[in-house]
Amino acid sequence: MNHIAGIDLGTTNSEICCIRDGRPEIIEIEGEMMMPSCVGIDHDGNLIVGRSAKNQMVVNPGATILSIKRSMGKNVSVQLGEKQFSPEEISSFILGGLKKHAEKYLGEKITQAVITVPAYFDDSQRKATKNAGILAGLDVKRIINEPTSAALAYDAGKGENKNILVYDLGGGTFDVSMVVIENGIVEVKASHGDTQLGGDDFDKLLMDYVSEQFKEENGVDLLKDPHSRNRLWSIVEKAKRQLSDKPFVRIREEYISEDKHLDIEISRDDYQEMIRPLVRKTIDCVHKCLKEACFLPKAVDKVILVGGATRTPLVSEMLEEEMRLAPHYEINPDLIVAMGAAIQGEIIAGRETESVLVDITPYTFGTAAVSNYEGEMREDVFIPIIKRNSSLPISKGEVFYTMVDNQESVDVRIYQGEEPLVENNIFIGNFLVKGLNSVPAGNEIILELGLDLNGILEVTAREKSTGLSKTVTMTTDNPETAFDLERAHENISQFTELVQHLEEDLSPKETEKKMLISEAEKLHKRGEAILDDIDEADAGEIHNLIEQGKEAIIKGDTEKLSDSNESLSDLLFYLED
């Protein structure tokens, strides 16, 4: 089948998607769903694109180009190596990198594409984007607006009339659009935004904060030296992503400035206060967009989040407060635009597509804590941690505080539901953490909840000051409706025995293969869970072993799979805390 690829050519990252078996599939590039929108020249003078170009940014910033999307449509040029290039030419290198990896994965040529652009892009910027595609060897079938693409991803094949607000906060730009779907036609009624506001600005605020702390302690300004600045940017960007799910993140970097080391802790609360004025600017844009489209907030049926920066909890909190409508982020905000573009490609080709398949939790999970309820302090207030409609698997954390001086233990109680008081929700389970430090009230206890695709909930409570922790695994089934599987087996045994003779026993070889695959799946999951918390070399080794394992499973090579499992198990033993 001749694929029409969907491409999200982003400021910070880019993605490519194709429709396979009727559903959008993002093409992995070097083990990642997103490819950094970076182009560089290595020490040998060779062109490098994507992750390798971004990685060299720290040591060779002068030979790397970032955020070229902001210059599309302008009559400017950038220096790369010994040559000058236009924004279209740099963008063509990015598109070419996406195209090459997709062709390798699919085993066929990619010659056609739908490429997305911000709704506010003018004609010159759209033409520049199309020219970049042509330079990359693509027949650009359509240039479509990013909000239109996002709306398509959520509502493909549903045929419903809806008014959708698309809130797109990417790495370098922000825009919000009012999209109307009527009789299968997707129309952008109004758009508003800020071309100089995005996640990069969040990074800058964090960098300023960390560098100021470092300067007070060491008398050195990390932002003045290009190398230390780029190292700081790299670790701060990672910390920003982690703060979406964790209440605290510690930033460590050895020898960041001569013999001086960086070691600073950042809280999510402090970070969100830093960015609050910027998020408020985006909310102002939302109101302007609604006004231009002649819509009241109550007329909006759905709010869709697009762009990695929307993962910051403050964004959805402020949006929900203004719109009185919980934003949707079931589909990965980083990938949704590329998926919609691929769906548009199928529409152009006259082929039908199905909706994007997403695993979500239909319920909220949280804990009981002392908090304000209708003007009264109560002990039974439900505090949500993992909110309903979150995509799975997911891990989220919040910080809580002890109530009395020298408190020795905390009783962690987990509930499922949407009601503000725990007595009206479903009790999942509880456990006691004993031996807390003898300190005044306000001792910080970090509670982390992780929910997998099978509905297994892992709960960890950790005393921040000492690291004392306890982890308990719970099933999310309602105890009142629990199913007794053993009893059911006994009940139907007289019938199943009649058909047992029809089942063939697995050979020893097949049994061994099944066990190896099961072990590999568990090891791969453990490895993927720590990728963001370890250094790049170890992460690369884990990724390679996971890929070797997957390849061995596909080929049925049990010997190679056994070796891969053993190597990965040994590596995880030393890396897992």
Catalytic residues: 8, 69, 146, 168
Task: Please state, as a whole number, how many other Cβ atoms lie within 10 Å of the Cβ of residue 503.
Answer: 8
Phi, psi of 384 (to 5 degrees): -65, 140
CB-based contacts of 558: which residues, under 8 Å, 6+ apart? 509, 512, 513, 516, 552
Q: Classify 101 in phi/psi space as left (phi over 0), alpha (psi -120 to 50) or beta.
A: alpha
Q: If you search the block for the tokens 């825009």, which residue do you land on?
A: 175
Cα-based distances in Å from 42 to 34, 45, 559: 21, 5, 38
Task: Please state, as a whole number, how many other Cβ atoms lie within 10 Å of the Cβ of residue 107.
Answer: 6
The CA-CA-CA angle for residues 43, 47, 53, to 5°, reads 75
Q: Where are the alpha helices (DSSP H) in 221-303?
A: 226-242, 268-293
Report DSSP state, residue 403: S
CB-based contacts of 223: which residues, under 8 Å, 6+ apart? 207, 208, 211, 229, 232
Amino acid identity for residue 220 in this structure: V
Amino acid identity for residue 155 in this structure: D
In sign, the C-alpha dihedral spanning 260, 265, 266, 270 is negative
Taking a C-beta distance cutoff of 8 angstroms, is the pair 56, 66 a contact? Answer: no
C-alpha 315/C-alpha 275 separation (Å) is 10
Both structure tokens of 337: 């635009």
| Bond into 508 cis (ω within 30) | no
CB-based contacts of 72: which residues, under 8 Å, 6+ apart? 87, 88, 91, 121, 125, 128, 129, 132
Both structure tokens of 386: 């993992």
Task: Please state, as a whole number, how many other Cβ atoms lie within 10 Å of the Cβ of residue 388.
Answer: 15
C-alpha 69/C-alpha 200 separation (Å) is 13
Coil, helix or strand at residue 516: helix
CA 3 to chain centre: 26
C-alpha 77/C-alpha 87 separation (Å) is 7
C-alpha 355/C-alpha 101 separation (Å) is 25
Task: Please state, as a whole number, how many other Cβ atoms lie within 10 Å of the Cβ of residue 226.
Answer: 12
C-alpha 3/C-alpha 312 separation (Å) is 35
C-alpha 47/C-alpha 53 separation (Å) is 9
Taking a C-beta distance cutoff of 8 angstroms, is the pair 218, 260 a contact? Answer: yes
Beta-strand (E) ranges in 510-577? none
Looking only at Cα atoms, what is the longest distance across the chain? 81
